Amino acid sequence: MADSVSRFAGFAAEYDAVRPAPPPDLPAFLADWSGCSRPDVVDIGAGTGLSTTIWAGVARQVTAVEPGSDMRAVLAGKFADQPASATKFAIVASIGEATGLADRSADIVTASTAMHWFEHSRAFPEIARVLRPGGVLAAYRPSWPPRIDPELDAAFAANEELVTRLEVERGLRPPHAGDEHAVPMRRSGQFQHVSEVSLHHREEGDASRLLGLARSRGGAMALLAAGASEDEIGLTALAEVASRRLPASRPWWWTFPVSLAVR
């Protein structure tokens, strides 16, 4: 099975263009939850920085942990384009199971659409080591699909079901895909309290973005790389519905479930 680095290699710019940003309220909420108004943040599996740059002006410093060189290149470009602020940004080429960061160096650790790639038995102790006492781990991802239109929602859900079935049948499914984050957090024994909340976000997009979003999912990318056709994995059928229902840009309504663990 291709890991997260090889699966998304060469696709960073396209990924960044179609994936949703986290809810704008997330940094303020996590800072409040952690009790630290100017937190030191570590964003593990930072990718292209969709979950990293939102901390500008809120965090004291943010360290993006990302193993993929393509993703890091896009992220570095965003850091270079950031307006001047009191927040310091850094990039580390490492993984969630072995960040290389100092003990008790973070008030908040985030993992955005990344925890299903982690080896939990190694990642949770590593995250607990990096967090200060009372620090917060926040793992979150968007609920697929965005709510746009009833027919589109149904078509996207049907595509996701097909891709998941093929991914499982062909041995391409990540080890923890689909897992609820809070359950392994509790089982790890590394945290004193685990809770959950959902935050919301509005974006916009057209049919082209929706198809790009569908292609950007790890399962679709793995299947296409393994030789499956777009017709076979349902993208052709989804494109037909999208062309009818999204002839122009429309609002997309996202829900982000957030699992919270306190060190």
Please give the backbone phi and psi of residue 140, each rounded to the nearest 5 degrees, phi first.
Answer: -150, 160
Burial environment of residue 60 by CB neighbours within 10 A (0 to 12, 13 to 18, 19 or more):
middle
Q: Which helix (H) or strand (E) holds 237?
A: helix 235-245
Helical H runs in 139-233?
A: 150-169, 182-188, 207-216, 218-225
User: What's the CATH number where 194 sits?
Assistant: 3.40.50.150
- The domain in which residue 32 lies consists of 4-262
Q: Which of 50, 22, 55, 51 is nearest to 36 (CA)?
A: 55
Distance (Å, rounded) from C-alpha 256 to C-alpha 201? 8
- In the chain, the amino acid numbered 13 is A
- Which DSSP letter does residue 56 get? T
Distance CA 188, CA 124 (A): 7
- 210 three-class SS: helix
Query: Based on the structure, what is the number of domains in the chain?
Result: 1
Residue whose entry in the numeric block shows the structure tokens 């037909």 = 240
Q: Running along the chain, 263 residues long, what does each successive block of 10 average in pLDDT?
A: 69 93 96 96 97 95 96 92 83 96 98 92 97 97 92 95 93 76 94 97 96 93 93 97 95 97 97
Q: Are 119 and 173 in contact (CB under 8 A)?
A: no
The H-or-E segment that residue 198 falls in is strand 193-205
Interatomic CA distance for residues 207 and 238, integer angstroms: 10
> Cis omega before residue 145 (within 30°)?
yes
For residue 172, the model assigns a pLDDT of: 87
pTM, two decimal places: 0.93
C-alpha to C-alpha distance for 50 and 111, rounded to whole angstroms: 11
Q: Both tokens of residue 14?
A: 């396209």
Predicted local distance difference test score (pLDDT) of residue 1: 40
Q: At what angle do helices 150-169 and 218-225 cross, to 10 degrees?
A: 50
